[in-house]
């Protein structure tokens, strides 16, 4: 590999990290703290998103399970029915994803509370949600914008998990007991 190529990749990584930091500085931290409380109160949590946002949501669901919460991913064969008192956390850069929009609407019909993490506070998903947490990725290039949003959303949700774990007084042994061992 040519030395110039390594320098380009490193510079691209540094630029991306800078963009993520700028978005993190403007993220809705109050809303994320409110999400911590909502998670503590919900009997069950469902997490969703499409594409890479869906991967962020699934990762967050795994963290919730590690914290001892009852968490599911809609569409999986072991996901039960949702209803009154449950919480759906939806992740969508644009707030216009059809699949995610359908699940948000359906969860609302069934009496669940919906939290949407998005870069678009005026989007259809945001308008349907009970709570909107804005992660303001605004780049003109949709690929860069989505990448920055997804990385920032992942970091924000890991911060939510860290606060939740501290509030629940979870220790390392608790995490180890819930961590996958069929690997």
Kindly list the catalytic residues.
Answer: 150
Q: How many other C-beta atoms are found inside a 10 Å radius of the C-beta of residue 40? A: 12
Q: How far apart are CA 104 and CA 170, in angstroms?
A: 30
Q: How far apart are CA 66 and CA 153, in angstroms?
A: 19
Q: How far apart are CA 31 and CA 136, in angstroms?
A: 13
Q: How far apart are CA 100 and CA 47, in angstroms?
A: 10
Alpha-carbon distances, residue 72 vs 32, 60, 61 (angstroms): 20, 10, 7
Residues 6+ apart with CB under 8 A from 93: 53, 118, 119, 120, 137, 145, 146, 149, 150
């Amino acid at each position: 590999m040519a030395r110039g190529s390594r320098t380009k990749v490193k510079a691209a990584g540094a630029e991306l990290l800078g963009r993520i930091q700028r978005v993190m500085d403007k993220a809705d931290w109050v809303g994320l703290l409110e999400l911590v409380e909502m998670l503590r109160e919900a009997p069950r949590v469902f997490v969703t998103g499409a594409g890479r946002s869906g991967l962020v949501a699934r990762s967050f669901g795994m963290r919730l399970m590690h914290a001892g919460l009852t968490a599911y991913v809609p569409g999986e064969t072991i996901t039960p029915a949702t209803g009154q008192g449950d919480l759906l956390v939806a992740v969508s850069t644009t707030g216009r994803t059809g699949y995610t929009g359908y699940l948000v609407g359906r969860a609302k019909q069934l009496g669940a509370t919906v939290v949407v993490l998005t870069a678009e506070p005026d989007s259809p998903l945001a308008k349907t949600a009970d709570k909107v947490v804005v992660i303001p990725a605004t780049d003109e290039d949709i690929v860069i914008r989505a990448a920055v949003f997804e990385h920032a959303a992942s970091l924000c949700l890991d911060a939510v998990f860290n606060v939740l774990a501290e509030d629940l007084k979870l220790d390392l042994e608790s995490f180890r007991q819930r961590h996958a061992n069929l690997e």
